[in-house]
């Protein structure tokens, strides 16, 4: 069972069996417009390899260009990616100082501590123009494995998640990278807004959606970008859907009201990002428009 390479807040690993109980066993064209950490896609690919599900074509997309770049580079240039990331890891592991600089722009500032180096890479990552370059993907993976809880959050100045303070984090495993490279060969990865992705879905296709959740409380983490997510636009699009879909979202009145014509299942899940109750249990909904 090949696991995803990225840590991802909101990933479906803990409820993956519940999700897949609702998947069709035969799928012509599969679309996943909110790819994120890829836990559902990876489980699907593993299921295909085990002969449990048949899928003809797979389209995986996300509006995060740097994220899609990671998957494309693992798919097509994984050796280059490993070598570039190894350079970053070697520099990181060679640092033993404890002077913290939270806005370093020079190598000398970066090497004052591991935390300073993290913020240096974060600054460099935010300044990169080519979001699908090997360097950008290497930095993305490094930041993902060393930032606070694998959180991905963007503000006006770019990726802004603080350092995670982990002891000896495993940032990359060459064998695991090779396994992922082989696993995702048949997938088409695209940088698309969800509206563009859903326009490609036709009658008979199957779509799994795991969008930013409608907020449960004022302090809920529901956004990965600096712009608010267009929940109503998504629900309005789904009301017109000719394709089959399965949607994950929060169990809140707003979601239930907008999916009242569908079948829903309530699932308890542990939310990993919550400043007051990091291991609290909340209800999620699995919503589908087919039987």
pLDDT in tens, 92-116: 999 999 999 999 999 999 999 999 9
260-280 mean pLDDT: 77
* pLDDT band at residue 213 using 50, 70 and 90 as cut-offs: very high
Would you kindly state where each structural domain of the chain is located, as residue ranges?
Answer: 13-63+192-288, 68-175
Q: Could you tell me the pTM of the whole model?
A: 0.93
Confidence of residue 278 (pLDDT cuts 50, 70, 90): low
Q: What contacts 167, CB < 8 A, 6 or more positions away? A: none
Q: Residue 277's pLDDT is what? A: 62
For residue 122 the two structure tokens come to 């974060």
Band (pLDDT 50/70/90 cuts) for residue 14 is confident
pLDDT, tens digit, 9 for 90 and up, residues 109-160? 999 999 999 999 999 999 999 999 999 999 999 999 999 999 999 999 999 9
Question: Which range has the worst mean pLDDT, 149-153, 162-166, 204-208, 284-288?
Answer: 149-153
pLDDT of res. 171 = 98
CATH second-level architecture of 68-175? Orthogonal Bundle (1.10)
Fold matches, 13-63+192-288 and 68-175: no
pLDDT value at residue 276: 55
Question: Is 13-63+192-288 assigned to CATH 3.40.50.970?
Answer: no
Question: Taking a C-beta distance cutoff of 8 angstroms, is the pair 163, 101 a contact?
Answer: no
pLDDT score recorded for residue 185: 99
Q: Using 50, 70 and 90 to split pLDDT, how confident is the model at 57? A: very high
Whether the pLDDT of residue 219 is over 80: the answer is no
Tell me if 168 sits within 8 A of 144, measured CB to CB: no
Sheet harboring 263-270: ordered strands across?
A: 187-191, 54-62, 26-32, 206-209, 244-250, 281-288, 263-270
Positive or negative CA dihedral for 264, 22, 189, 223?
positive
Per-residue confidence at 225, pLDDT binned at 50, 70, 90?
low
Q: What is the pLDDT of residue 173?
A: 98
């Amino acid at each position: 069972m090949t696991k995803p390479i990225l840590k991802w807040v909101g990933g479906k690993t803990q409820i993956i069996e519940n999700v897949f109980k609702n998947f069709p066993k035969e799928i012509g064209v599969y679309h996943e417009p909110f790819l994120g950490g890829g836990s559902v896609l990876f489980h699907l690919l593993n299921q295909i390899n085990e002969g449990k599900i048949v899928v003809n074509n797979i389209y995986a997309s996300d509006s995060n260009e740097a994220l899609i770049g990671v998957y494309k580079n693992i798919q097509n240039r994984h050796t280059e990616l490993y070598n570039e990331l190894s350079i970053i890891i070697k520099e990181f592991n060679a640092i033993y100082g404890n002077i913290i600089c939270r806005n370093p722009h020079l190598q000398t500032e970066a090497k004052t501590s591991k935390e300073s180096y993290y913020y240096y890479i974060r600054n460099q990552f935010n300044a990169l123009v080519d979001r699908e370059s090997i360097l950008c993907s290497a930095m993305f993976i490094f930041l993902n494995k060393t930032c606070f809880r694998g959180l991905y959050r963007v503000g006006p100045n770019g990726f802004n998640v603080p350092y995670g303070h982990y002891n000896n984090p495993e940032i990359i495993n060459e064998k695991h990278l090779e396994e992922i490279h082989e696993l995702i060969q048949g997938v088409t990865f695209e940088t698309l807004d969800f509206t563009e992705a859903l326009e490609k879905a036709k009658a008979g296709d199957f779509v799994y959606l795991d969008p930013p959740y409608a907020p449960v409380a004022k302090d809920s983490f529901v956004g990965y970008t600096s712009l608010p997510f267009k929940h109503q636009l998504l629900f309005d699009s789904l009301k017109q859907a000719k394709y089959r879909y399965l949607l994950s979202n929060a169990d809140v009145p707003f979601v239930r009201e907008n999916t009242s014509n569908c079948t829903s299942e309530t699932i308890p899940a542990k939310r990993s990002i919550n400043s007051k109750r990091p291991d609290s249990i909340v209800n999620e909904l699995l919503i589908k428009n087919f039987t």
